[in-house]
Each structure stands twice: as structure tokens, then as C-alpha cells.
Amino acid sequence: MTTAEENYLKAIYHLSEGGKKSVSTNDVAGAMKTKPASVSDMLRKLGEKEVIEYRKYYGVHITDEGKKQALQTIRKHRLWEVFLVDKLNFAWDEVHEVAEELEHIQSPLLIQRLDAFLNYPKFDPHGDPIPDEFGDVKAKPRLVLNEMEIDQMGQIVAVKDSSAAFLKYLDKVGAYIGARIKILDKTDFDGSIEILVDQKKNLFMSKEVAANILIQQS
């Protein structure tokens, strides 16, 4: 698999995650920031490699083999992110782009040793689970913050958006992975919410922000 193929397959995997059976050409183009015409071409190639099932005009469905390969790339991406944050003192908003390159280095030994060196981490700096070498991820149920009800409580365990802009914003307002939160108020009009962080700090946030924060109930 080339770097481009790995990136496409990973995008298709992520687009399929919400349990969607099929992913459209336009969806992939959006995720990859390429044109639909380029996507059609790539889908044909990935179809021939049998990592996806591709029916012209009807979108694409990732195969078990494809899922396995995508999870390997994701594993590598997240392990490198842990390395950058834990060992090289990168901030959590600085790691995504570099990991996007590092994930394509081809060396099973490297990843095995890196995993050991990092002490077999289970989550990356954004709270996302790291698949094991067989592609198994232990997924605990998580809620999206903007869908929680008043008085519900929980802990921030992950973010959906790993862009520097979003993560810097969270840093600024004091939201972080592990923070204990409680829903204080919700505004029907715009969907914005008010939460209590660590039993001491009130925090208002827009629906857009809350929709990118994942909560686990304790």
C-alpha cells in the first residue's frame, strides 16, 4: 500500500465509523480534500485490492481486510502521537500533522518496539483508543457532550476534532481529557450549554464545541 492508498483507506474507515453502511465519493473527497474525480480513480484501485467493496455510483463499503489495514495505520498514528507528547513534550495540538507523516513508515519492528517503549499505551493524547497489533480496540460507550441532559455527569475522555485551532481553544478555556464535568444548563435556541468543570469552574460553550467533546459516564 502506498501512502496515498493508506490515507484514503483510513479516511474511508473513519467515515464508516458511525455505523454507516456506505460512504459516498463526495464524502471521501471532502475528507481527503481532493476532487471527486480523483476519488473515483482511487476507489477503483482500492476495490481491486479488495480492501473496499466498490459498486459504481453506489458508494463504498470497507471490507474486513480493509478494516484491518486501516486499523494498523491508525495504531501507528496514535502511537506516534503518544511518543510526541510523552517523550518529546509536544502539545496535544502540535502532533496531528507530524503523525500523519510518521504513520506511513514501514517497519513492524519499529512499531512493536515503540509500543513497548511507550509502555503499551491504551489511548492517544486526544483520548482515542489505540488498536492492538491485531486491530482490536476496546471501545467503551461514549456520549457526545452536546447530547447530554441537565444534571448528567461524566468525564471528558476524548475529542472528535484534533485540529490545532480546536485544541488550543480547549486549552484556553480549561477543558482537558480527564476533566470531570456536570451539565448545568442548556439553551434550546442555539444548543449552547453551560457545564461545571472539576466542581469548581463554570464554562459556557457553543453547540459546535460541545459536539466535538466525548464524555464517559462515571
What is the binding site for DNA (CB under 7 A)? 2-5, 7, 24-26, 33-45, 54, 56-59
Q: Are the beta carbons of 198 and 180 closer than 8 angstroms?
A: yes
User: Residues near 101 by Cβ (< 8 Å), separated by ≥ 6?
Assistant: none
Answer for which of 86, 94, 100, 194 binds Mn ion (CB under 5 A) is 100
45 binds, among Mn ion, DNA, its own copies, none (CB under 5 to 8 A by kind): DNA
Alpha carbon separation from 211 to 60, 144, 146, 168, 192 (Å, rounded): 26, 6, 5, 16, 10
Amino acid identity of residue 172, one-letter, is K
- Residue 212 CA to residue 148 CA, distance in Å, equals 13
Burial per residue of 55-67, b for 16 or more beta-carbon CB atoms within 10 angstroms, e otherwise: eeeebbbbeeebb
Query: 34, 61, 32, 31: which is closest to 46 by C-alpha?
Result: 61
* Residues 151-170, interacting with Mn ion (CB under 5 A): 162
157 binds, among its own copies, Mn ion, DNA, none (CB under 5 to 8 A by kind): none
* Residues 101-160, interacting with its own copies (CB under 8 A): 101-102, 105-107, 109-110, 113-114, 117
Q: Which stretch binds Mn ion (CB under 5 A): 57-65, 116-124, 151-159, 165-173?
A: 116-124
* Residues 78-97, interacting with its own copies (CB under 8 A): 84, 87-90, 94, 97
Minimum separation from the CB atom of position 208 to DNA (A): 22
27/115 with CB nearer DNA = 27
Minimum separation from the CB atom of position 86 to its own copies (A): 11
Query: 137, 96, 136, 123: which is closest to 177 by C-alpha?
Result: 123
Site of interaction with its own copies (CB under 8 A): 84, 87-90, 94, 97-98, 101-102, 105-107, 109-110, 113-114, 117
